[in-house]
């Protein structure tokens, strides 16, 4: 049985709250992502709103016990609207010294540390570069400390099942999860069901994990009276009624693309090449054959986009996806899609750069690449998703623009959105206006001209195989209307202007920009895009509660920008643009509107905290 070696140290007990932030941290082999995922599910079933932040190393299985091998999962859940994964955890579960060392710094003062003291041996302390055991010195005095020998408790709990030592210790995460479920008054039954399904082929492992889960839960029950362990009940969030599910950004993108293809009445072709953190989109889509999805794992990023262009040329909705380095490789082919005026959706799950950068960490530093990163004058619509649920909407919007304007469209998301989960009110496809594609299948009056344009300046889509409409396209400059090769100076001027006017014209089909919070004409606008939505919204909301005159504007359409955005921004005395880059959208706004937009930048691979944005608001309005 587990024992508490010492009475907990520390000050005030954990306060019950509308919202709680828990961070599970352990070795990459400890199953922290799985633990976090299951705890998320139990939060969903308890009716809480939530946001999660998986934070894991780029190495698949880094050497055990090392600082760089720590994998963490943070969840913020509550009875109020949750927009971020939380600035600072209330509870940190540290499965080894390295996990404690790398995560304790962000723990709220007075917060609770639950540490597996069974792992705080000389070897692991040394790997974590501790000179003395932090569980035994005063270094953790700012927090409440609960030392449990989780390893031993787990071994005891699973002893009847005759597992080897290594296998038995792998049940540690379930013991921990059991304790967490007790702390937050959660039902164990869905977890037990899940374990039975997961280990259907190995009932002994199922039983052992369930025993560990139950033991952790039982420990909470029996230890309640003697320590800092208290049970909390976080009431269900007050959200609109309806059917909900948990949705990650990668799922949102995949489902949104399929929805978009259905609304366009097109089969979808997805060409992809494995890259973190974009691969999950390929994985999801590869299981959706019955929805008219063909997935193709290409030999490289260039082949991935070129195959998608080939499929679009053939009459399917071509889609490709990657992350920064792969998007760079696709640049020339994007130009081909722009020149041949074929629809294409390019999803960029941004990560820390440049070069290989930080593959598993989030960043918003591909905005310049998205808007400007091609040779020649190569305009292309760019959309940015703010959350997993919004990624679904944005994917549909990207498909709409691509097929209505016969253009490639880039959809920006990032590592944070791709991996994070949030509750999602399941929509009805019937609520979305369809935009069925009509292929040209006969010679129009006056003869067929491949580059003749409609009122949107889009050319008609013709499938090879159609009699009477034979034509040739390519990357060489096209003659107006006919599409023949034409190098003449006047023609290039006209065609360049037409391509620009076509993409600029997309602004006519997108909604005017409004304020998320606040109203036009105030002292300060915080202008965000993409995954900074959560922390900006929370920070602005708190500042407004304190009576500060600040508004939140969040831009989905990065290019072209909403037609009224310049006028809207000019109504504010100050404009601050928080971004996880060195000021890229800020520069675009300055260039487009000649306004004094000021940057608030963070490039640490971590999302903004609410406090960081609150501080910027306070500073600006001081």
> Which residues 408-437 are close enough to bind another protein by CB under 8 A?
426-429
Using a 10 angstrom Cβ sphere, with 0-12 exposed, 13-18 middle and 19 or more buried, the burial of residue 550 is buried
Binding positions for another protein, 476-505, rule CB under 8 A: 476, 484-485
Q: Binder to another protein among 130, 184, 269, 559 (CB under 8 A)?
A: 269
The stretch among 60-68, 239-247, 383-391, 566-574 that binds another protein (CB under 8 A) is 239-247
Residue 520 CB neighbour total at 10 angstroms = 17
Contact of 317 with 402, CB cutoff 8 Å: yes
Residue for token pair 């003869």: 447
Selection from 504, 525, 392 nearest residue 456 by Cα:
504
Residue 467 as a binder of another protein (CB under 8 A): the answer is yes
Q: Binder to another protein among 204, 470, 519, 615 (CB under 8 A)?
A: 470
The stretch among 101-109, 120-128, 282-290, 400-408 that binds another protein (CB under 8 A) is 282-290
Selection from 204, 233, 554, 220 nearest residue 384 by Cα:
554
Residue closer to another protein, measured from CB, 229 or 311: 311
Q: Binder to another protein among 166, 201, 472, 508 (CB under 8 A)?
A: 472
DSSP string over 74-132: EEEEESS---SS-SS-SEEEESSHHHHHHHGGGSPTT-EEEEEGGG-SHHHHHHTT-SS
Residue closer to another protein, measured from CB, 63 or 434: 434
Binding positions for another protein, 186-215, rule CB under 8 A: 187, 190, 193
Copy the structure tokens of residue 600: 């608030």
Residue closer to another protein, measured from CB, 263 or 569: 263
Residue 427 CB, shortest distance to another protein, in Å, is: 7
Q: Binder to another protein among 303, 394, 548, 555 (CB under 8 A)?
A: 303
Indicate the SS3 state at residue 27. strand
Q: Binder to another protein among 199, 232, 244, 448 (CB under 8 A)?
A: 244
Direct distance between the N- and C-terminal alpha carbons of the chain, in angstroms, rounded to an integer: 56
Residue 307 as a binder of another protein (CB under 8 A): the answer is yes
Residue 250 as a binder of another protein (CB under 8 A): the answer is no
Residue closer to another protein, measured from CB, 190 or 357: 190
d(CA 483, CA 451): 5
Q: Binder to another protein among 8, 29, 110, 267 (CB under 8 A)?
A: 267
Using DSSP bridges, classify how beta strands 70-78 and 49-55 pair: parallel, antiparallel or unpaired. antiparallel
Residue closer to another protein, measured from CB, 216 or 318: 318
Residue 51 as a binder of another protein (CB under 8 A): the answer is no
Residue closer to another protein, measured from CB, 446 or 465: 465
Copy the structure tokens of residue 69: 């091998």
d(CA 322, CA 370): 12
The stretch among 40-48, 439-447, 560-568, 586-594 that binds another protein (CB under 8 A) is 40-48
Residue 594 as a binder of another protein (CB under 8 A): the answer is no
The stretch among 21-29, 436-444, 462-470, 561-569 that binds another protein (CB under 8 A) is 462-470
d(CA 32, CA 95): 9
Binding positions for another protein, 129-188, rule CB under 8 A: 187
Residue 283 as a binder of another protein (CB under 8 A): the answer is no
Residue closer to another protein, measured from CB, 41 or 507: 41
Selection from 618, 377, 614, 619 nearest residue 501 by Cα:
377
The count of chain residues that interact with another protein, using the rule CB under 8 A, is 73
Residue 603 CB, shortest distance to another protein, in Å, is: 33
List all residues 6 or more positions away from 461 whose beta carbon is below 8 Å from its beta carbon: 315, 342, 343, 403, 406, 437, 439, 440
The stretch among 27-35, 198-206, 213-221, 256-264 that binds another protein (CB under 8 A) is 256-264
Copy the structure tokens of residue 331: 């640049």
The stretch among 9-17, 107-115, 306-314, 545-553 that binds another protein (CB under 8 A) is 306-314
Question: What is the number of residues in the chain?
Answer: 622
Contact of 72 with 56, CB cutoff 8 Å: yes
Binding positions for another protein, 318-347, rule CB under 8 A: 318, 332-333, 335-336, 340
d(CA 248, CA 85): 13
Residue 473 as a binder of another protein (CB under 8 A): the answer is yes
Residue closer to another protein, measured from CB, 435 or 593: 435
Binding positions for another protein, 529-588, rule CB under 8 A: none
Residue 254 CB, shortest distance to another protein, in Å, is: 10
Residue 271 as a binder of another protein (CB under 8 A): the answer is yes
Residue 77 as a binder of another protein (CB under 8 A): the answer is no
Taking each helix axis as running N to C, give the angle between helix 533-545 and helix 610-621, from 0 to 180 degrees, rounded to the nearest 10.
Answer: 50
d(CA 548, CA 550): 6
């Amino acid at each position: 049985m587990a024992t508490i070696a010492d009475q907990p140290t520390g000050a005030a007990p954990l306060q019950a709250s509308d919202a709680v932030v828990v961070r599970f941290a352990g070795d990459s082999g400890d199953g922290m992502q799985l633990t976090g995922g299951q705890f998320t599910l139990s939060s969903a079933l308890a009716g809480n709103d939530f946001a999660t932040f998986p934070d894991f190393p780029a190495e698949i299985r880094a050497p055990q016990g090392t600082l760089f091998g720590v994998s963490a999962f943070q969840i913020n859940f509550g009875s109020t609207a949750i927009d971020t994964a939380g600035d600072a955890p209330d509870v940190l579960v540290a499965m080894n010294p390295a996990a404690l060392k790398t995560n304790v710094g962000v723990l709220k003062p007075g917060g609770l540390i639950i540490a597996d003291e069974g792992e705080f041996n000389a070897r692991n302390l040394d790997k974590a570069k501790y000179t003395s055991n932090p569980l035994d010195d005063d270094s953790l005095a700012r927090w409440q400390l609960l030392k449990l020998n989780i390893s031993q408790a787990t071994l005891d709990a699973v002893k009847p099942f005759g597992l080897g030592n290594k296998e038995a210790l792998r049940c540690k995460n379930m013991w921990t999860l059991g304790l967490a479920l007790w702390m937050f008054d959660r039902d164990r039954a869905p977890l037990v069901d899940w374990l039975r399904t997961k280990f259907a082929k190995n009932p002994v492992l199922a039983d052992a994990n369930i025993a560990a889960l139950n033991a952790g839960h039982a420990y909470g029950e029996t230890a309640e009276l003697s320590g800092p362990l208290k049970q909390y009940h976080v009431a269900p969030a007050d959200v609109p009624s309806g059917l909900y599910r948990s949705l990650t950004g990668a799922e949102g993108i995949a489902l949104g693309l399929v929805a978009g293809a259905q609304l366009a009445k097109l089969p979808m072709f997805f060409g992809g090449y494995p890259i973190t953190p974009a691969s999950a989109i390929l994985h999801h889509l590869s299981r959706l054959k019955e929805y008219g999805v063909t997935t193709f794992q290409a030999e490289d990023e260039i082949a991935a986009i070129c195959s998608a262009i080939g499929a679009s040329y053939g009459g399917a909705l071509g889609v490709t996806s990657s992350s920064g380095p792969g998007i760079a490789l696709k640049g020339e082919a994007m130009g081909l899609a722009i020149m041949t005026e074929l629809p294409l959706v390019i999803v960029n799950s941004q990560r820390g750069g440049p070069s290989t950068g930080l593959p598993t960490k989030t960043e918003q530093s591909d905005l310049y690449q998205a808007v400007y990163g091609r040779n020649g004058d190569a305009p292309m619509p760019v959309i940015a998703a703010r959350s997993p649920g919004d990624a679904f909407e944005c994917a549909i919007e990207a498909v709409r623009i691509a097929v209505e304007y016969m253009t490639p469209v880039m959809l920006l998301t990032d590592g944070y959105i791709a991996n994070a989960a949030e509750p999602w009110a399941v929509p009805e496809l019937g609520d979305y206006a369809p935009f069925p594609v009509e292929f040209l299948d006969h010679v129009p009056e006056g003869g067929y001209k491949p580059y003749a344009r409609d009122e949107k300046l889009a050319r008609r889509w013709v499938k090879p195989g159609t009699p009477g409409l034979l034509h040739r396209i390519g990357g060489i400059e096209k003659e107006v209307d006919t599409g023949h090769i034409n190098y003449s100076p006047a023609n290039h001027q006209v065609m360049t202007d037409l391509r620009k006017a076509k993409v600029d014209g997309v602004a006519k089909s997108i909604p005017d920009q409004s304020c998320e919070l606040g109203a036009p004409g105030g002292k300060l606008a915080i202008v965000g895009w993409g995954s900074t939505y959560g922390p900006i919204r929370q920070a602005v909301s708190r500042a407004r509660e304190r009576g500060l005159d600040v508004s939140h504007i969040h831009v989905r359409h990065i290019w072209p920008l909403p037609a009224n955005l310049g006028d809207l921004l000019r109504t504010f005395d100050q404009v601050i643009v928080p971004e996880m880059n060195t000021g890229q959208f800020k520069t675009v706004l300055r260039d487009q509107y000649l306004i004094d937009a000021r940057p608030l930048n963070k490039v640490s691979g971590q999302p903004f905290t609410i406090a960081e944005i609150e501080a910027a608001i306070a500073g600006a309005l001081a």
